[in-house]
């Protein structure tokens, strides 16, 4: 096991940064040496000192200048491996505070631990042995080196920098050969000739905004595209009199020399919409500063998470517990519906009583991000719970359930949720987990999550797909477990409701319908089958490649204990089988 000094460990756990331990350790060692020397000196006979014996130079106290010099020399002893990591591998994502902390470390063990903590702080799934962020980051470096090299490694180019920091753009407008270019109205209109250039478009970048356009120009025509906030820089005829005129210049409303009189960062020239957009020079300067700054570190502590969601100031106080359940339902070939269900005990909410009514309020804030911190979904709600004051004590053991369904493309995300007790601002709860949205292969039999609910019924035709707890034409309110590994619980006077969708069933060429067998069963903790039923897909009234299984079962006859419900599907046409199971407890 790697040994780390106590100061370093406390720093990593406390805030993720380390505060210059090297000089402190040196000072401690020096102090100890001085104390030892003084002890030895005091033990010497007076006659020795009277004879003018000088103090050992090795035991003399060091000055502040000497300690500063030693610290500098220590930092210079970084091996090539650590220098490369700091200056070539992570320069675009390491913060100034992290860089300063890394340079203050005194040995390789601390540096190794720092690097591990550096990546872990950015890991979207801290419980996983794999670090998707790190793997994606190094993939981007390799891609940049392969595609953007131009007399220097690709990671050193501006395109490589942006690609590594923010990932591939959503769209690229590429002009690799330059040539004739019809200006858009916001650039003055008219026709000109350009150097090679590219415009990268991002629909959203965290901490920067929506619809971000980043322009790169190859003015040397050597393949080295550099970032620019001057859209006139790509104009190869910019300094050629009478050539590449804008619309107003062609109509003699403006002279081309007027472009260079404004003193701004661009020389686009006037046009139908040019003045409106050219006035945003400071916005482009600010965007450039944000693009080339290290991206913010997400999920490092509760305060940063809450700041990402709301403007409320974080206060200290007891943890506000709540439970979360996520399910997955296929909507289209490239989109899943992800119902997110939160459960909060009434007892954990602060109620304020006024005029005979006890009222509790909870703010719920949620965020879904990609492994590279790109925000794809957010939600924010305030829920209110009202109770007659005389009934409040009887309802404290009840639970409030909140539901939010988000459309997401298949892939790996991180879900972060924060809740806040409005009547007790110090009472805050937070949840953060990886969210792996499944891809349903057209060639394979697949199923949604198996949802166990305490209430389920069909909805009217005009309510299909609308409202809380509604999936398709069914209202199904999921039961939420009280712990990550705990099964959901039901009372004996409740019905056990379960809901499941099946995808990619085979279709018969002869009947133009599916042909599948559905078996559902309940087993006890020993595996003994207590109930089993078999249905044919035709009995469920659906003849497409999708099938919905929704059943309600009375459980009054079950003794208190642990059970499991299992749904098995056997597709006679594609010759595939699939099953889903979910545990539950009868109280």
Q: State the pLDDT at residue 51.
A: 44
Position 74 scores a pLDDT of 54
Q: What is the pLDDT of residues 53-84, one digit of tens each?
A: 455 555 566 677 776 666 555 555 568 889 99
pLDDT of residue 351: 94
Compute the distance between CA of residue 181 and CA of residue 195 in angstroms, rounded to an integer: 10
**Token code pair at residue 153:** 């490694």
Q: Which structural domains are found in the chain, ordered by start?
A: 6-34+61-121 (no CATH), 169-291 (no CATH), 317-439 (2.60.40.10), 440-587 (2.60.40.3880)
Q: What pLDDT does residue 402 have?
A: 94
Whether residue 489 contacts residue 479, with contact meaning beta carbons closer than 8 Å, is answered with yes
Instruction: Provide the pLDDT for residue 18.
Output: 35
| CB 88, CB 290: distance < 8 Å | no
pLDDT for res 250: 83
| d(C-alpha 127, C-alpha 414), whole Å | 12
Coil/strand/helix, residue 148: coil
Evaluate whether 160 touches 144 at the Cβ level (below 8 Å).
yes
pLDDT at residue 69 in the model: 67
The pTM assigned to this predicted structure is 0.55
Q: Which residues pair with 52 in a beta bridge?
A: none
Query: What is the model's pLDDT at position 249?
Result: 86
Phi, psi dihedral angles at 198 (to 5 degrees): -135, 145
Query: How far from 377 is each of 115, 299, 407, CA to CA, in Å?
Result: 30, 16, 9
42: left (phi over 0), alpha (psi -120 to 50) or beta: alpha
pLDDT of residue 430: 87
pLDDT at 271: 64
Taking 70 as the pLDDT cut, the residues of the chain under it are 1-62, 67-78, 126-128, 262-264, 271-281, 295-317
Neighbours of 367 (CB within 10 A): 23
Measured between alpha carbons, how far is residue 29 from residues 4, 58, 67, 223, 587 in Å? 17, 12, 12, 55, 63
Give the span between the Cα atoms of 122 and 371, in whole angstroms.
9
Q: Which residues contact 218 (CB under 8 A, 6 or more apart)?
A: 178, 195, 196, 197, 224, 225, 226
pLDDT of residue 427: 86
CB neighbour class for 305 (10 Å; exposed up to 12, middle 13-18, buried from 19)? buried
Tracing tokens 């000055």 back to the chain, one arrives at 63
pLDDT tens digits, one per residue of 205-214: 877 888 899 9
Query: Using CA atoms, how far apart are residues 145 and 156, in angstroms rounded to an integer?
Result: 9
Number of Cβ atoms within 10 Å of the Cβ of 577: 12
- Closest residue by Cα to residue 287 from 432, 162, 145, 465: 162
User: How many whole angstroms separate alpha carbon 241 and alpha carbon 217?
Assistant: 22
Which residues are CB-contacts of 560 (< 8 A; sequence separation ≥ 6)?
492, 585, 586, 587
Residues 6+ apart with CB under 8 A from 332: none
383 close to 362: Cβ distance less than 8 angstroms = yes
pLDDT computed for residue 502 by the predictor:
94
pLDDT of the residue at 142: 94
Q: Write the burial class of residue 59 (CB in 10 Å: 0-12 exposed, 13-18 middle, 19+ buried).
A: middle
Burial class (CB in 10 A: 0-12, 13-18, 19+), 371: buried
What is the per-residue pLDDT for 24? 35
pLDDT score of 44:
42
């Amino acid at each position: 096991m790697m040994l780390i000094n106590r100061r370093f460990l406390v720093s990593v756990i406390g805030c993720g940064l380390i505060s210059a331990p090297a000089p402190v350790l040196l000072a401690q060692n020096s102090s100890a040496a001085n104390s030892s020397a003084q002890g030895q000196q005091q033990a010497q006979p007076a006659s020795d000192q009277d004879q003018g014996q000088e103090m050992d130079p090795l035991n003399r106290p060091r000055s502040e200048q000497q300690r500063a010099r030693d610290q500098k020399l220590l930092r210079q002893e970084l091996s090539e491996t650590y220098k490369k990591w700091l200056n070539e591998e992570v320069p675009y994502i390491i913060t100034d505070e992290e860089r300063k902390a890394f340079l203050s470390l005194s040995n390789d063990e601390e540096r190794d631990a720092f690097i591990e903590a550096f990546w872990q702080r950015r890991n979207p799934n801290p419980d996983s042995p794999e670090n998707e962020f790190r793997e994606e980051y190094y993939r981007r470096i390799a891609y940049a080196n392969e595609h953007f090299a131009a007399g220097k490694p690709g990671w050193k180019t501006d395109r490589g920098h942006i690609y590594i920091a923010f990932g591939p753009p959503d769209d690229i407008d590429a002009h690799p050969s330059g040539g004739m270019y019809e200006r858009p109205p916001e650039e003055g209109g008219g026709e000109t000739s350009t150097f090679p250039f590219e415009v990268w478009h991002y629909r959203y970048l965290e901490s920067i905004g929506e619809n971000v356009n980043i322009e790169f120009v190859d003015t040397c025509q050597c393949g080295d595209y550099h970032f620019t906030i001057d859209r006139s820089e790509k104009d190869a005829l910019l300094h050629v009199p009478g050539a590449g005129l804008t619309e107003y210049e062609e109509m003699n409303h403006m002279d081309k020399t007027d472009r260079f009189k404004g003193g701004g960062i661009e020389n686009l020239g006037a046009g139908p919409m040019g003045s409106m957009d050219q006035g945003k020079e400071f916005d482009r300067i600010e965007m450039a500063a944000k693009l080339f700054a290290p991206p913010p570190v997400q999920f490092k502590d509760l305060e940063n998470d809450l700041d990402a969601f709301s403007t409320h100031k974080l206060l200290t106080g007891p943890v506000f517990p709540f439970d979360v359940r996520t399910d997955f339902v296929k909507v289209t070939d490239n989109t899943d519906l992800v119902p997110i269900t939160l459960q909060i005990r009434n007892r954990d909410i602060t109620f304020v009583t006024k005029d005979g009514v006890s009222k509790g309020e909870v703010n719920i804030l949620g965020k879904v991000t990609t492994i590279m911190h790109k925000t794809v979904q957010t939600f924010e709600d305030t829920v209110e719970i009202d109770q007659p004051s005389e009934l409040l004590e009887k309802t404290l053991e009840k639970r409030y359930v909140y539901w939010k369904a988000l459309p997401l493309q298949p892939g790996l995300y991180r879900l972060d949720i924060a809740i806040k007790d409005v009547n007790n601002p110090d009472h805050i709860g937070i949840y953060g987990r990886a969210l792996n949205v499944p891809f349903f292969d057209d060639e394979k039999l697949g199923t949604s999550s198996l949802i166990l609910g305490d209430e389920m019924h069909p909805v009217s035709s005009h309510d299909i797909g609308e409202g809380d707890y509604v999936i398709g034409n069914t209202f199904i309110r999921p039961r939420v477990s009280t712990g990550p590994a705990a099964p959901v619980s039901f009372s004996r006077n409740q019905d056990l409701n379960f809901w499941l969708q099946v995808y990619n069933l085979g279709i018969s060429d002869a009947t133009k319908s599916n042909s599948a067998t559905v078996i559902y069963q309940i087993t006890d903790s020993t595996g003994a089958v207590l109930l089993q039923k078999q249905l044919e897909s035709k009995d469920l009234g659906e003849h497409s490649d999708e099938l919905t299984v929704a059943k309600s079962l009375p459980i009054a006859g079950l003794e208190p204990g642990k059970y499991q419900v299992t749904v098995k599907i056997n597709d006679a046409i594609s010759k595939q089988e699939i099953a889903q199971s979910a545990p539950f407890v009868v109280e």
